[in-house]
Chain A
Amino acid sequence: MISKKLAIEVLNEMLATGGDYAEIFYENSNSSTVTVENNKVSSSSTSVSCGVGLRILKENRSVYGYTSDLTKKGLMDLAKSLNKSFNSERILTVTSLTKIKGKNRNVINKSYDDIPLEEKIALVKEGTNEIESIKDPRIVRYIGNFGNNHRRVAIYNSKGKWFSRETEFARIVYQVIVADENGMETGFEGPGCQMDISFFKNKINVRKTARKAAETALMMLTAKECPSGKMPVVIGNGWGGVLFHEACGHPLEASAVSKGLSCFAGKEGEMIASPIVTAVDDSTIDNEWGSIDIDDEGNPGEKRVLIKNGKLVNFMIDDFNGRRMNRKGNGACRRQNYKYCPTSRMSNTYIDNGKSTPEEIIKATKLGLYAVSFAGGSVDPTTGEFNFGCSEAYIIRDGKVCEPVKGATLIGRGEEILKKIDMVANDLAFGQGMCGAASGSIRTNVGQPTLRISEITVGGRGGELK
């Protein structure tokens, strides 16, 4: 940490040339990863990181710099080099810093730092043993991986406040590669949390997780190529939320909205989705992968309803981009680490439960695609054009889930697709992902109940859907 006295000195240096806001972001983190390949530990690594990011704002201008030199000279030199961007008179002086306490939503009973490597390896091996026990010669390679990160952050700003936050998160990942004379396929499962190791021991079943990765890969080996063209698509719960994350989540971030560079800019209060769609970005769910107590500007995490019954009602806003929108930040400012200037980002983003059941949705679909799980996607927030690739999918015929298909990618334009959601089920679930954008790679949950899109373009190699 930095002493309050030094923080005040650095903040005042940053403000010397007329900046209207200054902020010090201090971070000290350590992470550990063990990898088990074909049931033998193949790698174990440790990473320690410590540094400071300084940010000065003046009107709509942002100046940022980081350093891992935490001496007084290192910090003052950086502050001086950054304040050269402005050349006005000082308008602000910081005289004291008061600590603001946030709620700790991610209580850790026992730190991962105190858990021996052997215990983490034993946990990973529960899953890799399970994969081995399938004894299918088509399984050629399987990798289990356990990673945890412990991050301590302190933020000091020119509003005379300082905040601290300590988080630990962990993730277990299984990847299975299978091959036969027809080719090679992969399966992936990667649950994570901001909770102690009891999550992996009691809340989820590591064996089932690992087995699921293997079974998906084996099934995809026998799957036919996905048909292509426009068709109704039922999107499975949990990971299916990648749809909303790409098609709508990114364009609702203030980084795009504030400059009018989002397809949803200026549409607050308008119906942008079907009336059965309510969408939320909620940083306040205890122990969830994407939750935060306070954001990287010191604002408390919030539950933001973005779309209510089809109407656009809110955005993810950080204080800086909020300036162009005449809005205050709503706790959505995030960054990967001190090497990134922060901006508005998602946390736990989901479409809320509807009234149908998953069974009713499948039953109501005569011919279409059932996309259960996804490998990720991307979007251009300005045009709203998005894509996401399916890792597990089936054909629906006469209201029944039939043969598996592989290689499906769904594409479209966010504005059009949101209006085509015609059924929403009541089985909301989350999937844990890493989201990459301007302020780096951050933990985000995607989520949704099972839902149906009446028509979307599907890319695949299997010709016309019959």
Chain B
Amino acid sequence: MKYDKFFALAKERGITDAEISISTSYSLSFSLFHGEIDNYETNTSSTYMARGIYKGKMGAIVSDVYDKNSAELFVNTIINNASVIENNDPVFIYKGSPKYKKINTFNKDLSKISINEKLNKLYELEKKIKEADPRIVEVQVVGFEESSSSNTILNSHGLKLTQKNNNYFIYGGAVASENGQVKTGFDFFFENDFNKINVDELAKSIAKDAYSKLGGYQCDSSTYKAVLSQDVVSSLLSAYINNAIAEDVQKNSSLFIGKLNQKVASRKVTVEDKPLARTLFARGFDDEGVATKNLPIIKNGILQTYLYNLTTAAKDGVESTGHGVVGGGSKVFTSTWYLEMKAGKKSLEELFKEVDNGVYITEVQGLHAGLNPRSGNFSLQSTGFMIENGKVTHGLDIITVNGNLVDLFNNITEVGNDSKEFISGMKCPSVIVKKIAVSGK
């Protein structure tokens, strides 16, 4: 077999356990500007990640290429990298889980759709965005991206796991203008079934995201009762749930230290990681080869578990929760796969009514700079609307929302029924928060 030489050489040089994971991917993307294709891309690539345990330490290498010289290079590099490791973290090349759930995230029909059919959807989308509202002055871009990938893990214990998936992503951006004010809007749709694209709906949504922001002005700097959109909830939830990563808890740098089985959010908040749900993000095993499972993380506000890979689980004397991420280095990271916040019963309109007077925050920007994941403090450029007498009135221009993740998740008083799925692998509803600080005038 292609990788026998690597495994044999690894064994010969004293690498006790070895693993290679191979990802191959194909992608096709194109975008239109003013009715013409301005960018077209098609790519094939492979990534080879090899790891091995040498004298009790993990070494690793990542490469785009595996050729006749690779076995030698991989083995030498693993040994060199393992030899400098000084910490005593337990390391593992996994023997395998007793059972793996079969996952089907590959739609063989997608590649049968011709490029022309895909292009036609874009022509239609661009036209319909323009026609959606007279205030739409430009369509910045409409694009289609399709990708398929296959991931295989092979190791010296004889473990062999493979998963394939494919999906597409169709998107558009629009510019709306009125009285000298300029606003942009964007939306997308992703799936692996081509027949599910609804161009009308997507075009309307892109246009509305742009023109509805027009006519906005700054509100007073103050504290408001607020509805947060699904988009805002997903951005903030992802940062908050990262505090459940066991490595950060073990290293005294998480907001969830000592919070297991304690309240970390309002009782309205239930969050589950669902890698086995029927979604495009489904996966049967993590990067270390551990079988995944659906796992409640927060139930009615109470923290149920920390998130583990094999190393951090061994340190706490528990089993891995199947959240290991191998990034090409000797260290294994931790990540969730499909975070779902449980929806409530009320519609968005009912949430506005309940808030009565406050703000509706629809987008937050610049999370990498404006949110400190350690302290939980955030101050984020935002887009939103004023809620007056239970109804959305005017847009809000140039504002920030400011708060702390712990306070925010404890202040959720209602959860909507309008869950939306995001390409980040999350599904979230809109929520009401008791109070949030807004900076404006």
Q: Tell me if A408 and B140 are in contact (CB < 8 A).
A: no
Q: Tell me if B328 and A47 are in contact (CB < 8 A).
A: yes
**Contacts A40-B87, A385-B398, A459-B380; A228 near B221 (Cβ below 8 A):** yes
Closest chain A residue to B374, Cβ basis? A184
**Contacts A67-B43, A388-B369; A117 near B379 (Cβ below 8 A):** no
Q: Tell me if A185 and B439 are in contact (CB < 8 A).
A: no
Q: Tell me if A60 and B38 are in contact (CB < 8 A).
A: yes
Q: Which of A305-313, A409-417, A443-451 contacts B (4 or more CB under 8 A)?
A: A409-417
**Contacts A43-B329, A461-B437; A389 near B369 (Cβ below 8 A):** yes
**A250: Cβ under 8 A from any B Cβ:** no
| Number of chain B residues whose Cβ lies closer than 8 Å to a Cβ of chain A | 72
Give the distance in Å from the alpha carbon of A50 to the alpha carbon of B59 in the complex: 21
What B residues does A179 contact at CB under 8 A? 252-253
Q: Tell me if A42 and B331 are in contact (CB < 8 A).
A: yes
Q: Which among B60, B184, B370 is the interface contact of A387 at CB below 8 angstroms?
A: B370
Closest chain A residue to B254, Cβ basis? A184
B193 to chain A, nearest CB (A): 25
What A residues does B182 contact at CB under 8 A? 263, 382-383
CB-defined interface of B370-396 with A at 8 Å, one 1/0 digit per residue?
111011111111000000000000000
**B200: Cβ under 8 A from any A Cβ:** no
Q: Which of A30-38, A93-101, A198-206 contacts B (4 or more CB under 8 A)?
A: A30-38
Q: Tell me if B366 and A62 are in contact (CB < 8 A).
A: no
**B46: Cβ under 8 A from any A Cβ:** yes
**A271: Cβ under 8 A from any B Cβ:** no
Q: Tell me if A409 and B43 are in contact (CB < 8 A).
A: no
What B residues does A64 contact at CB under 8 A? 39-41
Quick one: which of B59, B64, B77 has the most chain A CB within 10 A?
B64
- Interface size range of chain A in the complex: 35 or more
CB-defined interface of A166-200 with B at 8 Å, one 1/0 digit per residue?
00000000000101000111100000000000000
8 Å CB interface, B167-221 against A: 175, 182-184, 218, 221
What A residues does B375 contact at CB under 8 A? 183-186, 406
Q: Which of B78-86, B337-345, B348-356 contacts A (4 or more CB under 8 A)?
A: B78-86
What B residues does A412 contact at CB under 8 A? 398
Q: Tell me if A65 and B369 are in contact (CB < 8 A).
A: no
Q: Tell me if B402 and A228 are in contact (CB < 8 A).
A: yes
Give the distance in Å from the alpha carbon of A406 to the alpha carbon of B437 in the complex: 15
CB-defined interface of A221-239 with B at 8 Å, one 1/0 digit per residue?
0000010111000000000
Q: Which among A41, A78, A85, A459 is the interface contact of B381 at CB below 8 angstroms?
A: A459
CB-defined interface of B239-253 with A at 8 Å, one 1/0 digit per residue?
000000000000111
**A407: Cβ under 8 A from any B Cβ:** yes
**A286: Cβ under 8 A from any B Cβ:** no
**A374: Cβ under 8 A from any B Cβ:** yes
Q: Tell me if A228 and B73 are in contact (CB < 8 A).
A: no
Closest chain B residue to A177, Cβ basis? B253
**A440: Cβ under 8 A from any B Cβ:** no
Closest chain B residue to A228, Cβ basis? B439
What A residues does B112 contact at CB under 8 A? none
What B residues does A407 contact at CB under 8 A? 372, 377-379, 402
Q: Which among A61, A185, A464 is the interface contact of B221 at CB below 8 angstroms?
A: A464
**B255: Cβ under 8 A from any A Cβ:** yes
**Contacts A62-B39, A229-B439; A383 near B184 (Cβ below 8 A):** yes
CB-defined interface of B69-105 with A at 8 Å, one 1/0 digit per residue?
0000100010011101111010000000000000000
Quick one: which of A69, A85, A260, A383 has the most chain B CB within 10 A?
A383
**A90: Cβ under 8 A from any B Cβ:** no
How many A-B residue contacts, CB cutoff 8 Å? 239
Q: Which among B61, B252, B255, B404 is the interface contact of A45 at CB below 8 angstroms?
A: B61
B424 to chain A, nearest CB (A): 16
Closest chain B residue to A260, Cβ basis? B138
A129 to chain B, nearest CB (A): 14
Q: Tell me if A378 and B365 are in contact (CB < 8 A).
A: yes
What B residues does A184 contact at CB under 8 A? 253, 255, 374-376
**A423: Cβ under 8 A from any B Cβ:** no
**B62: Cβ under 8 A from any A Cβ:** yes
Quick one: which of A60, A118, A411, A459 has the most chain B CB within 10 A?
A459
A61 to chain B, nearest CB (A): 6
A112 to chain B, nearest CB (A): 14
Q: Tell me if A50 and B65 are in contact (CB < 8 A).
A: yes
What A residues does B140 contact at CB under 8 A? 259, 261, 382
Give the distance in Å from the alpha carbon of A457 to the alpha carbon of B437 in the complex: 14
8 Å CB interface, A246-288 against B: 259-261, 263
Q: Tell me if A117 and B369 are in contact (CB < 8 A).
A: no
What A residues does B404 contact at CB under 8 A? 461
**Contacts A117-B80, A460-B439; A63 near B41 (Cβ below 8 A):** yes
B188 to chain A, nearest CB (A): 16
Q: Tell me if A460 and B441 are in contact (CB < 8 A).
A: no
Closest chain B residue to A261, Cβ basis? B140
**Contacts A51-B45, A61-B37, A459-B379; A186 near B372 (Cβ below 8 A):** yes
Q: Which among A48, A49, A230, A389 is the interface contact of B379 at CB below 8 angstroms?
A: A389
B146 to chain A, nearest CB (A): 14
What A residues does B413 contact at CB under 8 A? none
Q: Which among B63, B251, B400 is the interface contact of A141 at CB below 8 angstroms?
A: B251
B396 to chain A, nearest CB (A): 12
**Contacts A41-B87, A47-B62; A413 near B398 (Cβ below 8 A):** yes
Give the distance in Å from the alpha carbon of A127 to the alpha carbon of B106 in the complex: 48
**Contacts A45-B328, A185-B374, A387-B370; A460 near B44 (Cβ below 8 A):** no
What A residues does B84 contact at CB under 8 A? 34, 41, 44, 117-118, 121
Q: Tell me if A82 and B42 are in contact (CB < 8 A).
A: yes
Give the distance in Å from the alpha carbon of A41 to the alpha carbon of B263 in the complex: 36
**B403: Cβ under 8 A from any A Cβ:** yes
**A92: Cβ under 8 A from any B Cβ:** no
Closest chain B residue to A62, Cβ basis? B39
**Contacts A45-B62, A121-B84; A375 near B437 (Cβ below 8 A):** no
**B440: Cβ under 8 A from any A Cβ:** yes
Q: Tell me if A37 and B87 are in contact (CB < 8 A).
A: yes
**A402: Cβ under 8 A from any B Cβ:** no
A-B pairs, 5 with minimum CB distance: A459-B400, A45-B329, A387-B381, A389-B369, A228-B439
Known: A44-B80, A389-B366, A457-B399. 5 other contacts (CB 8 A): A44-B84, A179-B253, A339-B43, A407-B372, A407-B378
Interface residues, chain B, with chain A CB atoms under 8 Å away: 33, 36-46, 59-65, 73, 77, 80-82, 84-87, 89, 138, 140, 175, 182-184, 218, 221, 251-253, 255, 327-331, 365-366, 368-372, 374-381, 398-404, 437, 439-441
Interface residues, chain A, with chain B CB atoms under 8 Å away: 33-35, 37-38, 40-51, 60-69, 78, 81-82, 85, 117-118, 121, 140-141, 177, 179, 183-186, 226, 228-230, 259-261, 263, 339, 341, 374-378, 380, 382-383, 385-389, 406-409, 411-413, 457-461, 464
17 A–B contact pairs at CB < 8 A? Answer: A41-B86, A43-B329, A44-B80, A44-B329, A45-B61, A45-B81, A45-B327, A46-B60, A60-B36, A68-B45, A118-B84, A186-B372, A376-B369, A385-B381, A409-B370, A457-B398, A459-B402
